[in-house]
Every structure is written in structure tokens, then in C-alpha cells.
């Protein structure tokens, strides 16, 4: 099995292999059924890789079906973003795009069939009463007083519902199953409700809309889906899935299989909550680089390959768990470690003057674009009398013994260039260091001499005369707690440092950059140009990830 296929080594694949071997099916047909009520998130990517991956692997089909049965929350913007994200992830649906609303006529007729068989009835209890009558896990439900009306009366009332003659909330259609079932979903679930709501595809044709549990199984069967894959919270609903298909005149009967949802620590995966982050302006939008949405991850700098690789690594099981975000970060870090050119950028600049260079001195230093990949080429970087280094790379006092960066009277190597020694500092009126004066040692360019052999520290730098000013957007976790979904109000546990914006400088060579390019800024991390804000006159870089996982160390201190 090659790498692309190995994320398909799971219990569902074993079932499919068995079904193909036994001749139950001759080909495999899956679907990805998002509700267009938000942007896709990384949890959806797991389901996309699984469903589309299966179709690819078995030369079968995978449909994209928009589950558009609740027009109140659905929006065309979401449909477009979902299509775009699936294609970007590297998958393509079979044939045309499907919509649950394609089947509204058939669904209506199947509902009438259930009524005719005495298996569904129009109820007038309010939604609160329905909830109360439903009972709990320890308390049986009780029958609605409207449960036993005649088939004719039910058919007439259902037709009235459809014609818009009953007001919203005054009636609904319910399956007549068993109010004493140990499975609450089987206690006469609602199949249709009234909603006077314009639908993005059917307009005002309908004022009654089917519920997920009723429509989903029928759409699966009508489309010839063989394996209907969903997340574990629908495990009990499988009984209803089978009940509906067993009680209507339909030949196909797909089987539903459940796998565990993806949860990632320090983030949330519910579209409803992600919606709140957007509507409360806690983030800049659905594609804010801190969001776990596909659009956010893309803008942050994640590649489609890194997300697919992550889905491969986490696998598909029935075990509920929370994956550490470090697992996702590792995938992009490993990819960019191979492919991203190295560049020097100084994020918190402080000026260094190299006193023994003549005023106006400049020298071109040749640097490799990647330490282990000569094929990625070399570039010329200007070293000048005045340079910037990161303020964290200099300490005047109070530095630990093992501090290997620049201190007064000690030496450090400028990356790919000379060894310098710090001699004195100049401060402003507030006492902040504004210039560090140094001297350089000739003959140490990119080589260790007898005098410089003890120099262990290497710091990065950028010429002050040949650089460009840039904004660096440094992202961190959005939430302080590993499981924000469990918090009473997740707005109370926001990490106020989830976005820090710094103004710094970067090598002039990035002027050749286009939006969407990736770099390793040496000693700082992996960055990409921000797709919205980046322009030649305004360089904006998003930090994708640091060079190593620093979060766990941070929480421990
Ligand atoms: P949300 O709570 O985010 O709205 P959902 O399940 O309601 O999730 P849908 O648009 O209905 O979202 O999901 C489309 C498909 O993606 C479903 O088959 C669903 O099971 C799957 N899916 C959604 N969230 C996850 C997740 N966190 N992990 C794996 N699969 C998921
Ligand atoms: Mg849903």
C-alpha cells in the first residue's frame, strides 16, 4: 500500500473489502454531505479524505451532496466556500453536485407512504411539549394525544401543512414508532416541520422541510450510496435510518457506519461556535489564520498535502479523542523543512553598528537557500556597516551562563558571515538600547579561525541599508484550555496573545515573492505571505508554525 492509500487502512476499509469479496457490492459509492451552514473545518477534512479517498482507492464514486434541508441557516456563500475547499484539498466529486433539495418531491411522497401505512401522523404538540413527552433515558416517553388519528385525517392535515394552511409550530409530521423505546431517537421522531422560509434552490415552493434523519437515508438510497459514513453521535440514529428505509418502497438499503469525530486541543470544531467567533468579531472572519477552518489553515500557510498527511496520520477509528495541535503542526513543519527556502528576517529589530567597517561599507555574502539542498540554489545578501539583529539576541546584563548570543565583550557569529564582538551600547532617554556597537574579525567569513573557534553562538541579521520593512503576524492558540468546548463560555478562555503583530525587517530578496509563498525565516519559524494583505509595498507575513513545538514547554513554565 502506498502512502496516499495507507490512510485508508481502517475498520471501514476492512468492511468494504469484505463487501466486495462477498459480492454484496461490485463497486463502492460514498458521499460527503455537508450542511451549507458554515465553512468547512479540519474535522470535515477527515471525513473528506475518508469518503473521497475511498472512491479514489476503489475507482468508485463519491458525491458531494449539500444537505440543504434547513433553509434558515444555509447560505450560498457557504456552498461556494465548501466547493472551493474540497477542490483545494485535492479532491473532486463524481458527476454533478447533488442537493438534498433535489429530492424534496420524492421525500414528500415517501412521507405520505408512511402516513398511508399508519406509520406517521400529524402532531399538534408544541416543540416544548414534544420534548417533555419524549421522556429521558430513565423515564419512558408518553404518547401524544394526536397519535391515533386516522390515515385519511393525517393525509389531509399533511397536505394542509404543505399548502401553507397551518402556521409554523402548530403542526409537524412524526414517525409512529415506539414512545417506550430505549433509544430516544425512536420515540416518534419528527420527520417534517413547517418553515415559511425561502429556500436557495426551491424558492417558495415548499413551506415544509424534512428533518435530517428522514431525508439523509432516503437521499443515500436514491443515489445508490453503498457505505454511508458519519460520525459517532449518529450511532443511535442508525436505527431510525434503517427503520425509514425498511418501511418505504425503495430497493436500495445503504448501510451507515460511524467513526469518531476529530477534535483538536485548544480549538473548537462546531460550526455553530465557529460562527459565534466570526459574528462576535473575535476573529477577522471564517478564514482568520487562527481558525481551524480549511480557509483559515490555508491562509495561515498550511498546504493541502500537509492536511491530507495529518488525516492519514490520525487514521479512522471509533475511539473518541482529542488530538494535540502539535500533530497537525508537525505535518506542515516537516513538509516546509524540506521545501521552504531559508531567508533572514528580524522581527524585533535593534541596530548594530560594526565600527571597524568604513562608513557606507557593503559586502555581498553568498548564502545557500537550503542547508541540505544545493539544487535550491544560492543568493547574495548584503552585509553593511549597519545591520539589525533581534533584540532577544543581545543581553546587557542578567543573562544566564549558557546564553550563547551577543553580550558585551563576547563574540558571536553572524549567520553565514563574520564573528563580531559587542563593545558598547547607546541608549535613548527611556534607557532602551538603540544601538549596539561591535567590531568584526576579518578572516572569519564563513570559517572558523584559531581565534574564533570558541564562538558557539550564531545569530541572524539583516542589513539596515538593504532590507525591507515587513509586518509579522505571529499566531498562537485561540484558547487557553485544551478542551474549550467544555468551558461554560468559551469567550472567557480566549488567549489574548493569539495574534501579535510585529514590525520588523527582512532581506530584500523577498521582494521577488508572490502572495502564498513559503519561507523559513532562520531561527524564527515558517512563514508565508498573507494572501489578502500582502503587496509589494506592504509585506505581511503569517507565521505558520515555529521551528519546533514550544507550546508544551510554555505551559509547563
Ligand atoms: P458541525 O458540528 O461542525 O456543524 P456537522 O456534523 O453538523 O458538524 P456537517 O456539515 O453536517 O457538519 O458535516 C458533514 C460531514 O462531515 C458529516 O458526515 C460529518 O459527520 C462530518 N464531520 C463533521 N465534523 C466532523 C469532525 N469533527 N470529524 C470528522 N468528521 C466530521
Ligand atoms: Mg450537521
Contact call for residues 283 and 290 (beta carbons, < 8 A) = yes
Residue nearest to atom 14 of ligand 1 (CA): 34
SS3 content of the chain, % helix, strand, coil (to 5): 30, 25, 45
Q: What is the CATH number of domain 347-465?
A: 2.40.240.10
What φ, ψ does residue 199 adopt, rounded to 5°? -105, 140
Residue-range domain boundaries for the chain: 3-259, 271-339+470-556, 347-465
Rounded Cα–Cα distance for residues 192 and 8 (Å): 37
HSE (CB half, 13 Å, CA atoms) of 151? 9
β-sheet bridge partners, residue 520: 342, 526
3-259 against 271-339+470-556: fold identical: no
Give 3-259's CATH code, choosing from 3.40.50.620, 3.30.200.20, 3.30.70.920, 3.40.50.10800. 3.40.50.620
Whether 162 is a known active-site residue: answer no
Residue 445, burial from CB neighbour count under 10 angstroms (0-12, 13-18, 19+): middle
Contacts (Cβ under 8 Å, ≥6 apart) of 70: 35, 37, 195, 209
Is residue 543 in contact with ligand 1, taking CB distance under 6 Å? no
| Angle made by CA atoms 323, 325, 331, in degrees to the nearest 5 | 100
156 CA to centre of ligand 2 in angstroms: 31
Atom of ligand 1 nearest to the CA of 262: 28
Whether 261 is a known active-site residue: answer yes
Rounded Cα–Cα distance for residues 33 and 233 (Å): 15
pLDDT per residue as tens digits for the range 170-192 = 999 999 999 999 999 999 999 99
Residue nearest to atom 18 of ligand 1 (CA): 230
Rounded Cα–Cα distance for residues 218 and 211 (Å): 11
Share the mean pLDDT of the chain: 93
pLDDT per residue as tens digits for the range 47-100 = 999 999 999 999 999 999 999 999 998 889 999 999 999 999 999 999 999 999
Is residue 237 in contact with ligand 1, taking CB distance under 6 Å? no
* Average pLDDT of the segment spanning 1-24: 80
- The cell numbers describing 455, all together, are 564562538
Put simply, whether the predicted model's pTM sits higher than 0.85 gets the answer yes
Is residue 53 in contact with ligand 1, taking CB distance under 6 Å? no
Spot the catalytic one: 73, 261, 404, 491.
261
Whether residue 551 has pLDDT greater than 80: no
R_g over Cα of the chain = 31
pLDDT per residue as tens digits for the range 197-251 = 999 999 999 999 999 999 999 999 999 999 999 999 999 999 999 999 999 999 9
Contact call for residues 534 and 468 (beta carbons, < 8 A) = no
Classified as helix, coil or strand, 501 is strand
Whether 187 is a known active-site residue: answer no
Rounded Cα–Cα distance for residues 341 and 72 (Å): 47
Asked whether the CA dihedral 71, 207, 152, 188 is positive or negative, the reply is positive
CA distances from 401 to 230, 330, 397, 398, 407 (A): 56, 31, 11, 9, 11
The superfamily in CATH containing domain 271-339+470-556 is Ribosomal Protein L25; Chain P (2.40.240.10)
Is residue 262 in contact with ligand 1, taking CB distance under 6 Å? yes
pLDDT value for 453:
73
Amino acid at each position: 500500500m502506498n502512502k496516499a492509500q495507507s490512510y485508508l487502512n481502517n475498520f471501514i476499509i476492512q468492511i468494504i473489502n469484505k463487501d466486495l469479496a462477498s459480492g454484496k457490492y461490485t463497486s463502492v459509492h460514498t458521499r460527503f454531505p455537508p450542511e451549507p451552514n458554515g465553512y468547512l473545518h479540519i474535522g470535515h477534512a477527515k471525513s473528506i479524505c475518508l469518503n473521497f479517498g475511498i472512491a479514489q482507492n476503489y475507482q468508485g464514486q463519491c458525491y458531494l451532496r449539500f444537505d440543504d434541508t434547513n433553509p434558515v441557516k444555509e447560505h450560498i456563500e457557504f456552498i461556494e466556500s465548501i466547493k472551493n475547499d474540497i477542490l483545494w484539498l485535492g479532491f473532486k466529486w463524481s458527476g454533478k453536485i447533488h442537493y438534498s433539495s433535489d429530492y424534496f418531491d420524492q421525500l414528500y411522497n415517501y412521507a405520505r407512504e408512511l402516513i398511508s401505512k399508519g406509520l406517521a401522523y400529524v402532531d399538534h404538540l408544541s416543540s416544548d411539549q414534544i420534548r417533555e413527552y419524549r421522556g429521558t433515558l430513565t423515564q419512558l416517553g408518553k404518547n401524544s394525544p394526536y397519535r391515533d388519528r386516522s390515515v385519511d385525517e393525517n393525509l389531509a392535515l399533511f397536505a394542509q401543512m404543505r399548502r401553507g394552511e397551518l402556521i409554523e409550530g402548530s403542526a409537524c409530521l412524526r414517525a409512529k414508532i415506539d414512545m417506550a423505546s430505549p433509544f430516544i431517537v425512536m420515540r416518534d421522531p419528527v420527520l417534517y416541520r413547517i418553515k415559511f422560509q425561502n429556500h436557495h434552490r426551491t424558492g417558495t415552493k415548499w413551506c415544509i422541510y424534512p428533518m435530517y434523519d428522514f431525508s439523509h437515508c432516503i437521499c443515500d438510497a436514491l443515489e445508490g450510496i453503498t457505505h454511508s459514513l458519519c460520525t459517532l453521535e449518529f450511532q443511535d440514529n442508525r436505527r431510525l435510518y434503517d427503520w425509514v428505509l425498511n418501511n418505504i418502497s425503495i430497493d436500495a438499503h445503504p448501510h451507515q457506519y460511524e467513526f469518531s469525530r476529530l477534535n483538536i486541543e485548544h480549538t473548537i470544531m462546531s460550526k455553530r461556535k465557529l460562527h459565534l467567533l466570526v459574528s462576535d468579531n473575535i476573529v477577522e472572519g471564517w478564514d482568520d489564520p487562527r481558525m481551524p477552518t480549511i480557509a483559515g489553515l490555508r491562509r495561515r500557510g498550511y498546504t493541502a498535502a500537509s492536511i491530507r498527511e495529518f488525516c492519514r496520520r490520525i487514521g479512522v477509528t471509533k475511539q473518541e479523542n482529542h488530538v494535540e495541535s502539535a500533530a497537525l503542526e508537525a505535518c506542515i513543519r516537516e513538509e516546509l523543512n524540506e521545501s521552504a527556502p531559508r531567508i533572514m528576517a528580524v522581527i524585533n529589530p535593534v541596530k548594530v553598528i560594526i565600527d571597524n567597517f568604513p562608513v557606507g561599507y557593503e559586502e555581498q555574502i553568498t548564502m545557500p537557500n537550503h542547508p541540505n539542498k544545493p539544487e535550491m540554489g544560492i543568493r547574495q545578501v548584503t552585509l553593511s556597516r549597519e545591520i539589525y539583529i533581534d533584540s532577544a539576541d543581545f543581553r546587557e546584563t542578567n543573562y544566564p551562563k549558557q546564553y550563547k548570543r551577543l553580550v558585551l565583550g563576547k563574540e558571536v557569529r553572524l549567520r553565514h558571515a563574520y564573528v563580531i564582538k559587542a563593545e558598547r551600547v547607546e541608549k535613548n532617554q527611556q534607557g532602551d538600547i538603540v544601538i549596539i556597537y561591535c567590531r568584526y574579525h576579518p578572516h572569519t567569513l564563513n570559517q572558523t579561525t584559531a581565534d574564533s573557534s570558541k564562538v558557539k553562538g550564531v545569530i541572524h541579521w539583516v542589513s539596515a541599508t538593504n532590507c525591507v520593512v515587513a509586518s509579522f503576524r505571529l499566531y498562537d492558540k485561540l484558547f487557553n484550555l485544551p478542551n474549550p468546548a467544555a468551558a461554560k463560555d468559551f469567550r472567557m478562555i480566549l488567549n489574548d496573545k493569539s495574534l501579535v503583530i510585529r514590525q520588523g525587517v527582512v532581506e530584500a530578496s523577498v521582494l521577488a515573492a508572490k502572495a502564498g509563498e513559503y519561507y523559513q525565516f532562520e531561527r524564527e519559524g515558517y512563514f508565508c505571505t498573507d494572501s489578502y494583505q500582502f503587496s509589494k509595498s506592504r509585506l505581511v507575513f503569517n507565521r505558520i508554525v515555529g521551528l519546533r513545538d514550544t507550546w508544551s514547554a510554555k505551559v509547563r513554565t
